[in-house]
Each structure stands twice: as C-alpha cells, then as structure tokens.
C-alpha cells in the first residue's frame, strides 16, 4: 500500500506551529478527526436525538476498524473509556483469590499496577519482575516468575518511559505453555506499530485512543479473545450489556455473546465519532508504512543525538525499538508538567517550539506519522551541544 507522508502531515494543524513529539502523552488531532467531532456536535445541536440510532452504527463501524487494526474479529472488541477500564474488566473478572498469583513488571505505568494490587485485599499475590537499567525485560524472565499459582501476567507492550518494546508474541507462547493468561497494555504502541493479536496469541488487550491512535481522551478499545470471553465475570452490567437493549421492559434479555457485554452505558459518542475517523486515517496510511516511517526518523534522531553528545536511553536493537526515544539531559523527569527545574536541553527545546516530555529521568521524544525530517532537525538544532 502506498502512502503520502507529506499529504498526511498537512492534515495536522499542529505541525504548522510546533515540532510535536508528544503523542505518548496526548495526540494532536488530524483535520478529519476534528471534522468528525464537529459533525456530531452539529448533528446534536441541529437535530437533537433524531439520529440516535445512527450513532450506534458509528459504534459498530469503529469496532470493525479497531478489529481490522488488530487482526481480530469485531465480536472480540469492546469500546471502553480508557486503558484502565479494560485492565479492570480483566483484573476483576478473572475470579482470582487466595492462592492465586499475578505477575507484573516493575516500572510499568501505574494504570497497569493498581487494579492488580487491589486484588491483594482478596489474598492474591502480586509479583514484580525487575527490568535491567535500560528498562528491558525478557519474555523468559516474566515466564520464570510464574508458577502453578499464576493465573495471568499483565505487561506493557511498549514502555512509557524509554520506549522499550516487549516481544509479546514470544511471551504469550511461554505463558500458555504454563497455562498462564496474557494481558497487554498496548497504549504506547497501538497506532504506530503493527500488531496481530491472533498470531501473537494475546488473550486480552486494552489501549486508550488519546495517544498514538490520534483521538481525544475518553475513548479506547478492549480486546478479549473469543475463547476467553467466558473466563471473565461481568462485574457490573448496564442496559447495553444485553442483546435487546431497546426492549426496555425485557429485563431478562441475555447478555451479548461477544465483547459488547463490556460496553457500559452511556457511550462517549463524540469520542466514538473521533476514533472512527482516526482509525480510518491510520488504516488508510497503513500501519506498516507508518512504522517504517517512524523507524527511519527515530534512527536519524538517535544518530543526531549521539553526534551532539547526548546518550540515548532507548533500546534500538532488533525488535526492541518503538516510536519513543529517550535521552539523558540531566534529570528532565516530569519537566513537561512543570514540576521541578527543567534540564538545559529540555528548556531549550521548549523555547524552540519543540514539544517533548520528561519521563523516568530522560527527555522522551515520541515520533509519529505527522513528523518529518525537518522536525528532527529542529529538535537537534535546538539542543545545546554536550561534550562527547
């Protein structure tokens, strides 16, 4: 599939104002995504709920596009509010209790820790695998932390600090050989890196759409493998969880026999319209094309940083790389939130209109499909040189 990166870049107004490298926090909106939101708002403003049933068609189409992106069946996709909702569906639905254990990775984002830690109140043991100083952990390490009591391992596909990408396919094979389920927090990779949940044998996956999926906050996707659906209890139920939601007096309607049972009322309709448009854009570009584009740009960024004396803290070998590049700059952690003093390079980037973030003691640069070589050069030119 051919793709025009220049034409795609022109659809993002943010590129006319900044070198924007912060999709790992919040994505900018493309013109068609903005138009989709305005279209829904105008429809609601002009016609009220006249087209209410049509909004449900948009939900169905969004599910189908999400499934296309993941190599899944639409029946395996639920639209959720955020990554945390998907994690909680699994953590609370697996019927875990005393004598069970869960395996996590130290350093993962708290959204993938707190729902599992809460299970300690029920007697569940939560174990942490310790990554190396570059935040890397191997599938073998995670599998080795599992034993006969382990029911699930929950991991981040891509690290939110320095972008290390875990081989979730290899991990799934190792876990399944031990009868352990795999949950993947895919928020920092989905939308920029290819992932086929079927071939990767992932059991559960969740991702908010407000980062690499180029959608505003408040909407995301949850994947449950079809043969794992009945492994999950429904811990709370809404009128949209059932097969005949518009039969308002039929209180004994059965649950949906697919992932829709996890879609709770009332939906974020504006977010669904936005997500449908964003997924259409990503699928039009082709995720493989986007990944190749981002790989080239991040390679150029790493080379330029090294020439200027900055240490790249992101693994780049083999399949470890992602759209996130972290580099040392004297303690830039949380600098983008205005907490503490900004390191010299971080401050210089902000002054030059280069938007990045500080995470885990590094400057975090998130490169996506709307970036180009001029953005990379603008970032490198703004950095003060350091002794090599």
CB 297, CB 369: distance < 8 Å: no
Contacts of 306 (CB under 8 A, 6+ apart): 312
Higher model confidence: residue 340 or residue 67?
67
Measure the CA–CA gap between 241 and 259, rounded to whole angstroms: 9
Percent of the chain having pLDDT more than 70? 95
Measure the CA–CA gap between 179 and 184, rounded to whole angstroms: 16
Task: With a cut of 90, say whether residue 339 has pLDDT above it.
Answer: no
pLDDT of residue 343: 65
Across residues 143-158, what is the average pLDDT?
98
Task: With a cut of 90, say whether residue 381 has pLDDT above it.
Answer: yes
Annotated domain spans of the chain: 5-21+286-382, 33-283
pLDDT of residue 388: 55
pLDDT of residue 212: 98
Task: With a cut of 50, say whether residue 1 has pLDDT above it.
Answer: yes
Task: With a cut of 60, say whether residue 290 has pLDDT above it.
Answer: yes
Cis preceding linkage at 352, omega within 30:
no
SS3 191: coil
CB 39, CB 55: distance < 8 Å: no
Residue 48: pLDDT band by 50, 70, 90 thresholds? very high
Q: Which has the closest alpha carbon to 94: 37, 143, 154?
A: 154
Buried b (16+ CB within 10 A) or exposed e, 46-59: eeeeeeeeebbebb
pLDDT of residue 359: 87
Give the class (CATH, top level) of 33-283.
alpha beta
Chain mean pLDDT for the chain: 94
- In this structure, what are the phi and psi dihedrals at residue 49, rounded to the nearest 5 degrees? -95, 20
Measure the CA–CA gap between 93 and 75, rounded to whole angstroms: 18
CB 127, CB 180: distance < 8 Å: no
Distance linking the first and last C-alpha atoms of the chain: 42
Measure the CA–CA gap between 116 and 106, rounded to whole angstroms: 13
CB 288, CB 194: distance < 8 Å: yes
Sheet architecture: strand order including 362-366: 324-328, 362-366, 357-359
Encode pLDDT of 105-133 as tens digits. Answer: 999 999 999 999 999 999 999 999 999 98
Task: With a cut of 90, say whether residue 347 has pLDDT above it.
Answer: no
Residue 192: pLDDT band by 50, 70, 90 thresholds? very high
Across residues 186-206, what is the average pLDDT?
98
- Got the DSSP string for 253-321? PPBPSSGGGG-PSSP-HHHHHHHHHHHHHHHHH-HHHHHHHHHHHHHHHHHHHHHTTPPB-S--STT--
pLDDT of residue 384: 86
Domain 5-21+286-382 has CATH 3.40.50.300: no
Measure the CA–CA gap between 30 and 37, rounded to whole angstroms: 11
Task: With a cut of 70, say whether residue 200 has pLDDT above it.
Answer: yes
Across residues 295-320, what is the average pLDDT?
95
Task: With a cut of 80, say whether residue 182 has pLDDT above it.
Answer: yes
pTM of the model: 0.94
Q: Which of 5-14, 42-51, 321-330 has the lowest mean pLDDT?
A: 321-330
CB 125, CB 101: distance < 8 Å: yes
Task: With a cut of 60, say whether residue 59 has pLDDT above it.
Answer: yes
Residue 266: pLDDT band by 50, 70, 90 thresholds? confident
Residue 387: pLDDT band by 50, 70, 90 thresholds? low
pLDDT of residue 342: 52
Measure the CA–CA gap between 180 and 9, rounded to whole angstroms: 42
pLDDT of residue 330: 61
Measure the CA–CA gap between 149 and 162, rounded to whole angstroms: 32
Q: Computed from CA positions of residues 366, 129, 207, 204, in that sequence, does the dihedral angle turn out positive or negative?
A: positive
């Amino acid at each position: 599939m051919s793709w025009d990166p220049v034409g795609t870049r022109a659809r993002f107004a943010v590129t006319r104002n900044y070198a924007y490298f912060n999709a790992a926090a919040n994505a900018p909106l493309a013109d068609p995504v903005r138009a989709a939101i305005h279209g829904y708002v105008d429809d609601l403003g002009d016609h009220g709920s006249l087209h209410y049933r049509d909004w449900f068609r948009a939900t169905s189409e969004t599910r189908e596009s999400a499934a296309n992106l993941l190599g899944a069946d639409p029946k395996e996709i639920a639209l959720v509010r955020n990554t945390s909702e998907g994690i909680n569906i699994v953590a609370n639905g697996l019927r875990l209790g005393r004598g069970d254990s869960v395996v996590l990775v130290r350093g993962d984002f708290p959204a993938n820790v707190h729902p599992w830690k809460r299970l300690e109140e029920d007697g569940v043991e939560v174990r942490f695998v310790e990554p190396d100083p570059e935040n890397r952990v191997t599938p073998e390490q995670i599998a080795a932390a599992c034993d006969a009591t382990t029911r699930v391992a929950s991991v981040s596909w891509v690290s939110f600090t320095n972008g290390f990408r875990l081989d979730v396919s290899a991990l799934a094979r190792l876990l399944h050989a031990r009868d352990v389920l795999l949950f993947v927090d895919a928020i920092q990779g989905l939308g920029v890196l290819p992932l086929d949940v079927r071939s990767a044998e992932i059991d559960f996956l969740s991702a908010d759409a407000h980062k690499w999926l180029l959608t505003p906050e408040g909407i995301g996707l949850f994947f449950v493998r079809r043969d794992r659906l009945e492994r999950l209890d429904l811990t709370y139920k809404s009128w949209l969880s059932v097969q005949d939601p518009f039969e308002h007096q039929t209180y004994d309607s059965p649950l949906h026999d697919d992932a829709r049972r996890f879609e709770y009322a009332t939906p974020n309709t504006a977010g669904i319209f936005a997500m449908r448009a964003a997924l259409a854009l990503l699928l039009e570009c082709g995720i493989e094309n986007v990944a190749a584009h981002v790989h080239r740009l991040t390679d150029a960024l790493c080379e330029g940083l090294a020439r200027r004396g900055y240490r790249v803290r992101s693994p780049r070998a083999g399949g470890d790389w992602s759209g996130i590049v972290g580099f040392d700059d004297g303690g830039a952690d949380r600098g983008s939130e205005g907490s503490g003093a900004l390191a010299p390079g971080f401050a210089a980037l902000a002054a030059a209109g280069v938007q990045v973030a500080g995470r885990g003691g590094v400057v975090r640069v998130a490169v996506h499909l709307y970036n180009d070589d001029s953005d990379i050069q603008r970032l490198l030119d703004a950095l003060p040189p350091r002794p090599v």
